[in-house]
Amino acid sequence: MLIDTSQQPRLVTILRQGRYLIASVHAALDDGQLTRFQHDLIEQIGRYRSNGVIIDLAAIDVLDVFATRTLQNLARMASLRGASTVIVGIHPDVAFATARLGTHPDIAPTALDMDDGMAILDELTV
């Protein structure tokens, strides 16, 4: 039996907003999905010559060690491609747990919401 995957909701959406990319993560991603997301986002930075990336984690209620390291690596790779990264929308419980586990150091600048994230990118990419 064939499964129609076109009806399944997207786990990540990457949109272009001027010179920035906005990546919204809609659900928790497994390790393979995180790796694909990282690859796709870095590829799109080059394709669109983006100089800024916002990663929206508002829908995420858990951030494990692998996800945190993937975000750190993603921010470093984006920087090597000429793009600054800002992470927005981290829930208070996620921030608390991540800091308590000691897995949050210097992922990227963070902001409460998309507007604040855009403002930070505007300052970083002047």
What percent of the chain has pLDDT above 70?
Answer: 90
Phi/psi of residue 94, each to 5°? -70, -45
pLDDT over threshold 80, residue 61:
yes
Which residue type is seen at 43? Answer: E
CA distance 21 to 61: 23
Q: How confident is the model at residue 120 (pLDDT cuts 50, 70, 90)?
A: very high
| Ordered structural domains, the chain, with CATH | 11-124 (3.30.750.24)
Q: Rg (Cα) of the chain, in Å, rounded? A: 14
Of 54, 40, 44, 52, the closest CA to residue 10 belongs to 40
Could you give the residue ranges of the DSSP H alpha helices within 1-126? 31-48, 65-80, 92-101, 114-124
